Chain A
Amino acid sequence: MIPAGFEYHRPADVASALAILTTHGDEARVIAGGHSLIPMMKLRMAEMGHLVDLQDITELKGISVDGDTITIGAMTTQHELITSDALAEAAPIIREAALVIADPQVRYMGTIGGNVANGDPGNDMPGLMQCLDATYILVGPDGMRPVAAREFYEAAYFTAREDEEILTQISIPRPAPGTGYAYEKQKRKIGDYATAASGVMLTVAGGTCTSASIAMTNLADTPIWAEAAGAALVGSDLGEDAITAAIAAAKDAIDPVADNRGPVEFKMHVAGVILRRAIDRAIARAG
Chain B
Amino acid sequence: MAKQHVKMTVNGKEVEALADPRTLLIHFLREDLKITGPHIGCETSHCGACTVDIDGKSVKSCTMFVGQAHGADITTVEGLVNADGSLGVIQEMFREHHGLQCGYCTPGMITRAHRLLQENPTPTEEDIRFGMAGNLCRCTGYQNIVKAVAHAADALNAQKEAAE
A and B part of one assembly: yes
A interface residues, Cβ below 8 angstroms from B:
1-8, 10, 31, 34-35, 38-39, 42, 51, 53, 55, 79, 102-106, 108-109, 190-191
Inter-subunit contact A104/B68 (CB<8 Å): no
Q: How long is the Cα–Cα vector from A4 to B1 in the complex, in angstroms?
A: 10
- A10 in contact with B70 given A4-B22, A34-B63 (CB within 8 Å): yes
Per the 8 Å Cβ criterion, residues 112-138 of B in contact with A are: 112, 116, 130-134
- A1 in contact with B67 given A8-B21, A105-B51, A108-B58 (CB within 8 Å): no
Pick 15 A–B contacts, CB within 8 A, sort by A: A1-B44, A8-B21, A10-B67, A31-B65, A34-B64, A38-B45, A38-B63, A42-B44, A104-B112, A104-B131, A105-B51, A108-B57, A109-B57, A109-B60, A109-B63
Inter-subunit contact B67/A106 (CB<8 Å): no
Smallest CB–CB gap between B22 and chain A, Å?
Answer: 5
Q: Which residue of A lies closest to B50 (CB)?
A: A105
Q: Which residue of A lies closest to B119 (CB)?
A: A83
Contacts of B58 in A (CB 8 A): 104-105, 108
Inter-subunit contact A7/B1 (CB<8 Å): yes
Smallest CB–CB gap between A123 and chain B, Å?
Answer: 15
**B48 contacts the other chain (CB 8 A):** yes
Inter-subunit contact A51/B51 (CB<8 Å): no
Q: Which residue of B lies closest to A83 (CB)?
A: B119
Inter-subunit contact B67/A38 (CB<8 Å): no
Contacts of B98 in A (CB 8 A): none
Interface residues on B, range: 20 to 34
Inter-subunit contact B134/A104 (CB<8 Å): yes
Smallest CB–CB gap between A230 and chain B, Å?
Answer: 31
Inter-subunit contact A34/B65 (CB<8 Å): yes
Contacts of B116 in A (CB 8 A): 104
With most chain B CB atoms within 10 A of its CB, the pick from A8, A105, A108 is: A105
- Residue-by-residue, is B127-163 near A (CB-CB < 8 Å gives 1, otherwise 0)? 0001111100000000000000000000000000000
Inter-subunit contact B43/A191 (CB<8 Å): no
Contacts of B4 in A (CB 8 A): 8
Contacts of B24 in A (CB 8 A): 2, 38
Contacts of A55 in B (CB 8 A): 68
- A5 in contact with B65 given A79-B57, A108-B57 (CB within 8 Å): no
**B20 contacts the other chain (CB 8 A):** yes
- A7 in contact with B2 given A103-B134, A105-B51, A109-B57 (CB within 8 Å): yes
Smallest CB–CB gap between B52 and chain A, Å?
Answer: 10
